[in-house]
Structure 1
Amino acid sequence: MIIASAPQPTDGIAGWAVDLMDRLGAPGAGLAVALENLFPPLPSEIILPLAGFTASRGELSLLAALFWTTAGSVVGALALYLVGAAVGRERVRAIATRLPLIRLHDIDRTEAWFARHGTKAVFLGRMIPIFRSLISVPAGVERMPVLTFLALTTAGSLIWNTVFVLAGYQLGESWWRVEAYAGVLQKVVIGAVVVLLAWFVATRLRRPIGRHGSH
């Protein structure tokens, strides 16, 4: 049985990531992942297995790939945390009062939920497509202790990165197969978000909303 393989990519996002790794080595993989955190359209599901593939070719060590991609994840997440901290709780609440279908009660409940489950949300959120980046913003808004945030982000990112980097390392030139499976997971997450948003809008349209958010 012949398994299809792909040469080292030279164009698109994959080609860009390869170029960074060619120029900077393992820190280039870390830079690519940091940028992926800041700009979610850059998919870690391509960058991470590609780093593993590059390691399988002996162009960088596997441990260096894991270290630098995780460092990049933490740096990118910290930048978004600082954005959330800069925006602040009061500004978020002020913006919420101007949004249709949003009540301050919703913000209060969200804050209460984050106070109870924020640590789990940050840790597990690092392993969920789309939310991997977004979860850092409410952590900043709610001023989660920085050391706690960094520890949870590092742990969650290390697990996520290890799975994808090792997959690319083991698959070698067939590293691109990882993206197809990750794409299914991302579609499931997007579908769940769409359903939840539809449910939220439907429940809000069934009842009047006070100007400043009635209970």
Structure 2
Amino acid sequence: MTVDVVLPCLDEETALPWVLGRMPDGYRAIVVDNGSTDGSARVAAEHGVLVVNEPRRGFGAACHAGLLAADGEVVCFMDADASMDPRQLPRTAGPVLAGGCDLMLGRRIPRAGARWPLHARLGNLVLAATVRRRTGVQLHDLGPMRACRRAELLALRLTDRRSGYPLEMVLRAARAGWRIAETEVDYLPRAGRSKVTGTVRGTLRALGDMRRVLAEQDGQA
């Protein structure tokens, strides 16, 4: 069974060769170019992977475009910046393939040289605690590496197209009664600066998106 791997991509020309070169057998990369101004799309195409163009900027927009392009029964998501090792994707997809859970998230464990700014880490801890309190699901990280079944994810009808997409996925999945778990994955030195949490402004913008998602979910409860 082929597992599709959605890689939202914004100016990751430097990182892509390493990421795509470490994709495990049976895992098909789908690079979603989200308005790159470098050679990201060209590099991905040269590696023979499917490239999807999503001109509307936003992490959620890129993820959703990749999800629509996927056709595997199980789909994974991960960043394209080399901060995570594709060879660890089976840690998230394996339990889903085996039927042991419905949504598996990778809990990031920083390794030597990894850049995870304090403001971004604190924001993530607060959001994880909020999720635990609201859903009872024992998550400690809302990291970007995750796996679930494609058809079931589409049925959740996620609407956020910005940085709130990962949070909305967890909240809607919990409400739908999904079995949600997490497993440790390495968090490595990324290539280049983060487009979202590399600055305080970016982190605050992402947290604003997630607060909006929380408010919307409260309104639907």
TM-score w.r.t. structure 2 length? 0.28
Q: Relative to total residues, which structure has the larger helix share, 1 or 2?
A: 1
Question: Whose RCO is larger (CA < 8 A, sep 6+)?
Answer: 1
Rg larger for: 1
TM-score w.r.t. structure 1 length? 0.28
Q: Relative to total residues, which structure has the larger strand share, 1 or 2?
A: 2
